[in-house]
Chains A and B, each alone.
Chain A
Amino acid sequence: MINIKSLFVGSASVSLIVAGNVALANEFQGPVRIVVPFAPGGTSDILARYIAPELSEAIGQPVIVENKAGAGGNIGADYVAKANPNGHTLLLSDLTALLAAPSVLDNVAYDIESDLSPVTMVSYSPYVLGMSQQHNFESFDDLVEYSRNNPGDIAVATSGVGANNHITTERLIQDLGLDWTVIAYRGGSDATRAVVSGESDMLLNGTTASLPFVLNDQMNALAVTGEERLEELPDTPTFRELGLPGELDGTYQGILVTAGSPPEVVERLQKELADILATEDLQAKIAQQGGQARPSETSAQLQEWMTEQMAELTEFIAGSDIKQ
């Protein structure tokens, strides 16, 4: 005969175990949203759409991608900063744009340090320095020499005042003491059009955007940022090889979450995302965009990186001509 007491204890413990598992699996109570603070079709948007289905499978909840473009990414960031801190609203964005915002814009509605918490970095994409066909420079040194002999003659296109490539251009100007005329355009495509048509002479832009033009002889690549030469451009040196300081970086995409979210949720997210970004499939997709997948090992790692970057950016921008 079955001992009723043991049956009772048995079922109690079984239900406790089941309840425990259910509680563990239910870190996520409902759909998760990845907010992309840029228009659909951009780098962040594409990354989000690659990641969303994988994440959805991993956590067992629907993952929706929402676009909230505007103000250089700050509208979407503001939205996530003010969202419910249950860890279900994520932000996938170009990190430098957000970190530079307080120094470049007059009023940013949220505070990136206290309102948003890092989860993981996603990818890194180096910059290519492209020259228009108007000048026939063979190397970066030629460009520098020409610039010193003809101050103000070289026109550099940027994606906008305070944009990432504007900051990088200013770094070059300061490091080398050159006199370039910086002209702001409406975004990367507009700037590319200007250089291809010869209206402006030079553009620093991500590999995805610039590579096709370089390979088609509509732009000359004189240098790339980052640690290694690009596979597609084996003859183009890196800035480091040319002896320039290493902060000449590219674009970093990362995922942030509303500050104050439960730590278990954030940790789970970071772990799942790191796994997704380590798969061959996603690495290949990101490489096709011209970037490299760079998952963070811990959220704290991203936090450290962001704090460092922010301090450096704030200092640099304050000492430069960027903000008028």
Chain B
Amino acid sequence: MEIINNLALGISVAFTLENLMYCALGVTIGMFIGVIPGVGHLAAISMLLPLTYYVPATTALVMLAGIYYGAQYGGSTAAILLNLPGTPSSSVICLDGYPMSKNGRAGVALFMTTIASFVGSFITVIVLAAFAPPLANFAVAFNSADYFAMMLLGLVAAAILVQGSPAKGLAAVVFGLMLGMVGTDVSTGIQRYTFGLTFLYDGINIVAIAMGIFGVTEVIANVGKVAQIKNDQKITFRSLLPTKRDVKDSVFPILRGTGIGTGIGILPGTGTSIGSFIAYALEKRISKDPSKFGKGAIEGITAPESANNAAAQSAFIPTLTLGIPGDAVMALMLGALLIHGITPGPNVISDNPDLFWGLVVSFLIGNLLLLILNIPMVGLWVRLLKIPYPILYPAIILFIVIGVYSINYANMDIMLVAMFGVIGCVLLILGFEPAPLLLGYILGPMMEENFRRAMLISRGDLMVFLERPVSATFFALIALFLCWSIYSAIKQRRSPVEGEL
């Protein structure tokens, strides 16, 4: 069978000493980079790109890919332990990961995310191996109208994310949408909200916003408070292990998260963040007890984590099979290929089967390595929490700042972090949540761009959204969600609950 041949080829390529070494190197670097808040995989990959010139193409990609999904994993570690997203896509893991940590279940959280990553990766690899070409064609069949419908679904997910007052949550989303408007309008080239400043031409850097609102605000909120986690308990290996209940509760979230991550990841231009947000929202929506989300629900971390990982790996599909990079990181990967004399494009798989399949199998190896590396390290990470906060927080601020600086070497990005730190504090006092804001910021510009483009192409015909099968499906899902939400809201009203608007 085709798959077996391909996987066999991949295994023979991936298990060479050189590739294994570089895989391990990439994954380790990625993980540590991911943990450091602010420094993202983009910075790491672009820094280490020149290192890859002197090794064969497959090895280069294996290492760079390792950094990519390793960083996703590391980002979750920081999110769980410190309430700081190491990468913007880990922001959603802060919501339930940090409360788990405060409950003394940090080890369990870390353990489960490792497992979730691994399982998610495993499933994705099988899917990629079996369905790479059809998936690629599916990805390309997406039209602007379809993208818009999907983003709208994501926006509905944002509404579900909200834990407190719905009106304030909605306001946060809208504010996020507006922040996303800053920059150049793609369709007309006109600058909005840039006040004549060149560095805002491309919009506000997402890392600056995420670090400012989540990271800096978190630090300011915690400075001066007495040590928040009781350090009396001895950290035994036993206490790090998840309970049977945890594992049972996570099986379906992982499966669902992987599905969502794969589905969204293969679409060029979506990035990994959206997948994790939608996975979280889905879990919360279909859970029998939505109120446990935000307080340390295990589904709230395993689903987004597997979605993250799946999205990161699936993003390679359009990049490699079509030569269409989904985002900046993929463009870097393509650049790496170009330098090695491999022209990315539709022929990459057929001309370089060892490259493609070796890479796909290396995903599995890399995740296995992450598993092996991290299980023993969970204890170490949890001990990190014991560092007295007065020593920890200047380090956090420093890394955030250097990390943001490393993206474009622009001082203005650092100023943005400061500004969003202040904004984040204001939001905190007033009871607005940062996660919906971030999601609004990510989705807003894409939604608008795709909507206007769909209108332009259909010459103003709104029915195009219902005519295309994909977008019609998404709209059906949105209608479903809305009905469900209204239904459960009415049900709750019947048994009156204390609440604010």
Contact = CB atoms under 8 A, between A and B. Distances in A.
A107 B196 contact: yes
Contact of B338 (A41, A75, A109, A155): A41
Contacts of B104: none
Contacts of B72: none
B272 to A, nearest CB: 17
A32 interface: no
Interface in B236-277: 268-269
Interface string B386-424: 000000000000000000000011100000000000000
B189 A323 contact: yes
A212 interface: yes
B461 to A, nearest CB: 14
A181 B49 contact: no
Contacts of A70: 198-199, 201-202, 408, 410
Interface in B178-219: 184, 186-191, 196, 198-199, 201-202
Given A184-B187, A193-B140, A323-B189, A75 B268 contact: no
B339 A39 contact: no
A186 interface: yes
Contacts of A181: 456-457
A139 interface: no
A33 to B, nearest CB: 11
Interface in B99-155: 140-144
A160 B198 contact: no
Contact of B347 (A74, A105, A215): A215
Contacts of A212: 323, 343-347
Nearest to A45: B335
Interface stretch (B280-288, B325-333, B366-374): B325-333
Contacts, number: 137
A193 B332 CA distance: 17
B53 to A, nearest CB: 8
B346 A324 contact: no
A40 interface: yes
A193 to B, nearest CB: 5
Contact of B408 (A69, A74, A216): A69
A201 B68 CA distance: 34
Given A184-B187, A197-B140, A212-B345, A109 B334 contact: no
Contacts of A324: 188-190
A51 interface: no
Given A66-B409, A107-B196, A212-B345, A192 B324 contact: yes
Contacts of A208: 338, 343
Interface in B267-308: 268-269
B338 A289 contact: yes
Contacts of B144: 194, 199
Interface residues of B, number: 50
B172 to A, nearest CB: 26
Nearest to B45: A40
Nearest to B203: A70
A233 B140 CA distance: 25
Contacts of A66: 409
B341 interface: yes
Contacts of A69: 408
A289 B332 CA distance: 15
Contacts of B431: none
B202 A106 contact: no
B199 A196 contact: no
Contacts of B449: 186
B323 A213 contact: yes
A42 B331 contact: yes
B336 interface: yes
Interface in A182-202: 183-186, 189-190, 192-194, 196-197, 199-200
A289 to B, nearest CB: 7
Nearest to A217: B346
Contacts of B323: 192, 212-213
Contacts of B49: 40-41
B50 A189 contact: no
Contacts of B186: 160-161, 184-186
A323 to B, nearest CB: 7
Nearest to A166: B189
Contact of B333 (A41, A109, A184): A41
A288 interface: yes
Contact of A155 (B269, B347, B408, B457): B457
B27 interface: no
Contacts of A218: 346
A193 B457 contact: no
A68 interface: yes
Contacts of B190: 324
B168 interface: no
A105 B332 CA distance: 27
Interface of B: 46, 49-50, 53, 140-144, 184, 186-191, 196, 198-199, 201-202, 268-269, 318, 322-325, 328, 331-336, 338-339, 341, 343-347, 408-410, 449, 453, 456-457
Given A218-B346, A288-B343, 7 more contacts: A39-B328, A105-B191, A162-B189, A184-B186, A193-B324, A197-B140, A213-B346
25 contacts: A39-B46, A41-B49, A41-B332, A42-B331, A42-B335, A45-B335, A68-B410, A70-B198, A78-B198, A155-B457, A160-B189, A161-B187, A181-B457, A183-B187, A183-B456, A184-B186, A189-B268, A189-B331, A190-B268, A192-B324, A199-B457, A200-B457, A208-B343, A212-B344, A324-B188
Interface of A: 39-42, 45-46, 49, 66-72, 74-75, 78, 104-109, 155, 160-162, 181, 183-186, 189-190, 192-194, 196-197, 199-200, 208, 211-213, 215-216, 218, 288-289, 323-324
